[in-house]
Structure 1
Amino acid sequence: MKTFSSSTNHFFISIFIIFFSIISISSSTSEKPYQDANTYFIRTSCNSTAYPRLCFASLSKHAGFIQTNRVLLTSAALNVTLASAKATSVMISTMSKSYGIMKPREAAAMRDCLEELRDSVDELRKSIGKMSQLGDSNFEVTMNDVQTWVSAALTDESTCTDGFQGVNGNLKNTVRSRIVQVAQLTSNALAFINQLASSHA
């Protein structure tokens, strides 16, 4: 009787292990292709931008949200850009207050840059709000507005960096490196916007 019970238990344990292994393998193989497809979509889409490495690094973590949807890709790119622009604006504002005594040229460059960056943040925020209203009936008008605002945001960011041409030292390097990254993210987002607009032309 003990032998039968032991054999039976061993049999059921073996069946359970085999069943669990099959479930684990099937679940992993069913999820991985979707994850790979999402990541591949982002990578190939980023290859068409001016800064593909930055593009993929900033968007790959949102692959589950983006999936393989071009509208969601564009929205994600805009949101990532807005977050970077806001963080940079806070950084410049903090530096302006804590940097110490600045030369008149430095103070003017920081003040002008902060104003330009705040305009950029506002334009990116408008673009994101407009994208959330995107539909077939208003597609062209909406995309035209988004293109205009994001292009203006990119111009504002470029104007900010131009203002530091007569400034030397760590202040210029620190601010400019952050603004350049925001501008590159904006450029990538604009590339996706233009592609989305042309896909419905």
Structure 2
Amino acid sequence: MKKNTMAKLNILLLLLLSFLYMLDISQSATDSNPEATYFIKAECRATRYRALCVQCLSNYTSTIQQSKQKLAHTALLVSLTRAQSSSTFVSRLGRMKGMKPKEYLAVKDCIQNMGDSVDQLSRSMKELGLMGQVASGDFDWHVSNVQTWVSAALTNENTCQDGFTGSAMDGNVKVAIRRRVLNCAQVTSIALALVNRFAETARHKVGSDSLG
């Protein structure tokens, strides 16, 4: 009985920590660079989660300035950070005792999914960072890799959430994980949209340069 009580208390503690984490990441930055802030807001209109996009990226105005590549790279950085944090959170939850067998299996699968997501986002960041000049002849190959890996990361994050569907999964474990991973997936969706937007603009520039 004591073990089950402790397990429930530990899960409730993780749920509280998850809530505080979500509260912390909702804080917005001071608008210290109006032009970059306007640029970010304009670009975020192309994403599915506009308010979250601005909220996540407004802390990085000095880095992003008005560069679509830096915007995409920063969005990937934010996504990777969220994925790493979510992966650690799920891994800790997986070590707790007292979960239902189906919950344990779902958590175990989610740990694998989130680990894969972290790896894919890490590779995406490196690839985008190594692209160098937009006019490179290998541009399409590089950006295709980034798009493929970010898409795969988003799929893994959604698969993690899907593992907790059904009435057998109702409870604190489901709430804690889905809340955390849902936010992570939304940020990855934003990163993918901004990568796609950068790629579209850059391809147009490459085409114009080749014609000129």
Q: TM-score, normalised by structure 1?
A: 0.81
Partner of residue 104 from structure 1, selected from 94, 101, 105:
101
Deviation at 1:116, TM superposition (A): 0.4
- How many residues are matched? 168
Aligned residue in 2 for 1:88: 86
Deviation at 1:71, TM superposition (A): 0.3
Extract unaligned runs of 5+ from structure 1.
Answer: 1-32
Which is higher, the Rg of structure 1 or of structure 2?
A: 1
Alignment of 1:141-160 (within 5 A): 141-160=141-160
Aligned residue in 2 for 1:67: 65
Aligned residue in 2 for 1:121: 118
Deviation at 1:105, TM superposition (A): 0.2
Give structure 1 regions of 4+ aligned residues with deviation exceeding 4 angstroms.
Answer: none
Alignment of 1:185-196 (within 5 A): 185-196=187-198
Aligned residue in 1 for 2:162: 162
Give the secondary structure class of the aligned counterpart of 2:33. helix
Aligned residue in 2 for 1:11: none
Aligned residue in 2 for 1:37: 35
CA RMSD, 1 decimal: 1.3
Aligned residue in 2 for 1:55: 53
Aligned residue in 1 for 2:180: 178
Aligned residue in 1 for 2:77: 79
Extract unaligned runs of 5+ from structure 2.
Answer: 1-30, 205-212
Cα distance between partner residues in 2 of 1:92 and 1:157: 12
Q: TM-score, normalised by structure 2?
A: 0.77
Deviation at 1:34, TM superposition (A): 8.2
Cα distance between partner residues in 2 of 1:58 and 1:198: 22
Cα distance between partner residues in 2 of 1:196 and 1:62: 17
Cα distance between partner residues in 1 of 2:180 and 2:32: 34
Aligned residue in 2 for 1:21: none
Deviation at 1:92, TM superposition (A): 0.8
Query: Relative contact order: is structure 1 or structure 2 higher (C-alpha 8 Å, sep ≥ 6)?
Result: 2
Cα distance between partner residues in 1 of 2:191 and 2:42: 15
